[in-house]
Structure 1
Amino acid sequence: MHRLPDTPPLHPAKVQAFVYRAPIENPVQTSFGIMHDRPAVLVRVEDRDGAYGWGEIWCNFPGVGAEHRARMLESCVAPILQERQWAHPAQAFETLSRRLEVLAIQAGEPGTVAQIIAGADMALWDLAARRLGQPLWRLFGGTPRIVTYASGLSPTDPQRLAAAKHAEGYRAFKLKVGFGEERDTANLRALREQFGPDTVLMTDANQAWDEQTAAHMSRRLAEYGPIWLEEPLRADSSPEQWRRLALASPLPLAAGENLRGDAQFDEAIDSGSFAVIQPDPGKWGGFSGCLPVARRVIAGQRMFCPHWLGGGVGLVAAMHLKAGVGHPGYVEVDSNPNPLRDLFAGPLLRPDEGTVTLPDEAGLGIEPDLAAAREFLVPHGYR
């Protein structure tokens, strides 16, 4: 069993949330909903000596959810973190998870609670690594180079956006499907014709189909050679349904962004149904939860590809998570316009032939430009 690296003790004095909303010209479509703007909830944890770290909470859906998550962080997580000194970020993660477990049940919000804990955990690890003067990828025992793919190619003219991302240095591309058989197959065929037989393509159905439709669509899409089919079924489908689909599908299956907790990830790894496991460090686990999961994924001979679709702080965290464990796999970078990604992640969004090299600066290695993002800051109303 791999253990998490040692870190200095931390005693948070201040825990803050910052809510941003950036307008976009074209809504982002998925099979289950539309994003009319790009939200981000950043977390800043400051220690008693003035050192600080940054994290990000997943907040894309529902569209009104960002402000709520910020209030939850400041009302539920902050008081616990400020109570005492923590020997390790994982100790804080475990305590927060345990103490907020009943609240999550009572409020009917286990996902929201997991997300606010995850964002706080990211910030604690960034703080700890800054205190040590180490980049997170090195602290985790990895190397700085990762391979990226451009995700979020929508069903409307995906070739145009893919061409733009190719010009920026991306060499692998993921198409959203789940918009009708003919439209999905035509879009994937167009991408294959655009890039030729050797370019890596992926598909993501965002939980769009039932088992029969998923098996049929997998056979249709397989003709164009994507390396995986992501979330073709609802994430809460039974293990038996996933096993049947895995046997029927000519395409390898991918999932994980909507799993929470060690038990669910262990079940997914052990089931044999998934070739690719994709934890989202802003939805559950941060680094304390997702780093051990990543190592178990690799030990189980599955591909580890962290999920991320949000602002730039969480994206860079996903990059460090992947870099920290190494092995073949990809880090997702959303293709759609998002000033909150671009302002916070900066030069890491320009890969060299698909590859990004993370910086040697301590922690996440970035400093969010809050002044540049000021026009997108919105109040969230917690006192």
Structure 2
Amino acid sequence: MPTSISHPPLQIKKVESFVYRAPIHKPVQTSFGIMHDRPAVAISLEDNEGCVGWGEIWCNFPSVGPEHRARLFDSIVAPILLEKIWASPVEAFQELTKRLHILGIQCGEPGTIAQAIAGTDIALWDLLGKKIGKPLWELFGGTPLIETYASGISPTDPEEIAEKKWAEGFRAFKLKVGFGQDRDFSNLQTLRNLLGPDTKIMVDANQAWDPDSAARQIEHLAPLNPFWVEEPIAADRPIQDWNMLATQSSIPLAAGENMRGETQFYEAINSNAFQVIQPDIGKWGGFSGCIPIAQAVCASNRLFCPHWLGGGIGLVASMHLKAAVGQAGFVEVDSNPNILREAMAMPYPVISDGKVLLSNEPGLGIAPEINRLIDLQVKHYF
């Protein structure tokens, strides 16, 4: 984290949460569930000088989750933010994590609370960047050019979305698998035939397999040269299971979106299991937690590839997170239609030849177009 930068303290005077649900024509399929609409939870923090920072809390599952997360943020996070003047976002992140730890255990929701804290941290850093007048990638000592890939390519007619995303400027792609050996292989073969032998195509099983079947499924896909296989087994399997699978797999293993806390991430970094590590900035850590992890991943010569599947605020935050540490790796950009991606992050970043050049605007450099969201009849709570 940047420690040599002089910056003003943060005195939060107004806190708001917003829940949005965007209708979609084609459900988003994963091996564990289906999204029938696209939700997002945005939060805004306004300081004593009227400056506003935006954040986003991960909320895709379960389907009732967005409203719950927003109410949780309103009831337990917001009051703490309003209590005092904060020396830095890191101080707020650490105090929120400490004070809400036992509550997370008691109610059985440490992950949900961590998500609310993560979205808060994004907003605090956006606010600080705006007050200093620097984009976050610069504030963190990074560079603005990053690589992206199109993710969330479904098992139904995957070539249609891949072809469309190629035309939009993407040059790497990720296919959903975990829908049966023959179907997975056929879909990957279709994409390989369409995109050619040198295009990076990743596969994401979304924890679909047990360790034994994962080894078999991976080797069945290996002749088609996937760049990585993501979450082939449950994220909470012991690290020994991941290490064993890594020794059996000819495809690099990727995971991280369902890891939470420094201990779990450093265990993953120090293991031999993962060649790609993928924290989700809106699920755990925000910038305060994820940047140290990103730096450790890069120092270990692994690929750091932030995960994101949600609205536009979290997506652009993921881009700044990747830009902060540089080096090889990709930022995930969901390929499925989602008006909350563009309307929550205007001006929306332009993708060209697989890359994004972040702007010099302060903070995240974007803001939601609230009027556009209302005009598009996205349901708005609170």
**Superposition map of 1:260-275 within 5 A:** 260-275=260-275
Alignment correspondent of 1:376? 378
Tell me whether 1:103 sits opposite 2:112 in the alignment.
no
Q: What is aligned with 1:157?
A: 157
SS of equivalent to 2:332: strand
Match of 2:77 in 1: 77
Identity %: 60
CA spacing shift, 1:13–1:346, aligned 2, 3 Å? closer
What is the rounded CA distance, in whole Å, between the counterparts of 2:310 and 2:292 in structure 1?
23
Question: Counterpart of 1:331 in structure 2: which amino acid?
Answer: V
Displacement after TM superposition at 1:204 (Å)? 0.3
Letter in 2 for 1:82: L
Is 1:298 matched with 2:336? no
Corresponding position of 2:189: 189
- Asked if the contact 1:4–1:140 (Cα under 8 Å) also holds between the matched residues in 2, the reply is no
Structure 2 CA distance, aligned partners of 1:340 and 1:99?
A: 32
Whether the 8 Å CA contact 1:168–1:350 is kept in 2: the answer is no
Partners of 1:86 and 1:249 in 2: CA distance = 47
Contact 2:346/2:369, CA 8 A, preserved across alignment: no
Structure 1 residue aligned with 2:56: 56
Cα offset, 1:14, TM superposition = 1.2
Q: Which residue of 1 aligns with 2:29?
A: 29
User: Which residue of 2 is the match for residue 240 of structure 1?
Assistant: 240
- Deviation of 1:218 after TM superposition, in Å, equals 1.0
Counterparts of 1:211-290 in structure 2 under 5 Å?
211-290=211-290
**Contact 1:8–1:87 at 8 Å: present in 2 too?**
yes
Measured against aligned partners, the alpha-carbon deviations of 1:187-228 in whole angstroms (never above 9, x if no partner) come to: 001100001111111000000000111111111111111110
Asked whether the equivalents of residues 5 and 139 of structure 1 are also in contact (C-alpha less than 8 Å), the reply is no
Cα shift at 1:368? 1.0
Give a deviation string over 1:336-374, Cα, whole Å, max 9, x none. 010000212345454110010001000000121011012
* Aligned counterparts, 1:203-218, within 5 A: 203-218=203-218
Q: State the Cα distance separating 1:287 from its structure 2 match.
A: 0.3
Q: Distance in 2 between matches of 1:241 and 1:4?
A: 38
1:179 is the counterpart of 2:179: yes
CA contact (8 A) 1:343 1:373 kept: yes
For 2:184 and 2:346, locate their aligned partners in 1 and report how far apart those are by CA, in whole Å. Answer: 32
Higher mean alpha-carbon deviation, 343-352 vs 19-28, is at: 343-352
Structure 2 letter corresponding to 1:236:
D
Question: Is the 8 Å Cα contact of residues 346 and 368 (structure 2) preserved in structure 1?
Answer: no
Q: Which amino acid aligns with 2:378?
A: F
Listed as ranges, the gaps of 5+ residues in structure 2 are none
* Paired positions, count: 379
Partner of residue 113, structure 2: 113
Q: 1:223 to 1:357 in 2, by over 3 A?
A: same
Aligned equivalents of 1:166 and 1:340: distance in 2? 21
Q: What amino acid is aligned across from residue 77 of structure 1 in structure 2?
A: V
Equivalent position of 2:307 in the other structure = 307
Partner residue, 1:135 = 135
Provide the C-alpha distance between the structure 2 equivalents of 1:264 and 1:367, rounded to a whole number of angstroms. 33
Structure 1 distance, partners of 2:347, 2:42, is: 19
- The alignment's TM-score, normalised by the length of structure 1, stands at 0.97
For residue 224 of structure 2, give the secondary structure of its aligned residue in structure 1.
coil
**Quick one: which amino acid aligns to residue 213 of structure 1?**
S
For 1:370, the aligned partner's letter is I
Note the C-alpha offset of 1:300: 1.2
**Which amino acid is the alignment partner of residue 369 of structure 2?**
D
3-state SS of the aligned residue for 1:151?
Answer: strand
Alignment correspondent of 1:147: 147
Q: How many angstroms does 1:48 deviate by?
A: 1.1
**Which amino acid in 2 is paired with 1:379?**
Y
Partner amino acid, structure 1, of 2:152: G
Q: Which TM-score applies when normalising by structure 2?
A: 0.98
**CA root-mean-square deviation:** 1.0
In the alignment, is the contact (CA less than 8 A) between 2:347 and 2:366 conserved in 1?
Answer: no
Distance 2:91 2:171 in 1: 39
State how far apart, in whole Å, the 2-side matches of 1:356 and 1:345 are. Answer: 14
Q: Secondary structure at the match of 2:345?
A: helix
**2:65 matched residue in structure 1:** 65
Question: In 2, Cα distance between the equivalents of 1:236 and 1:179?
Answer: 21
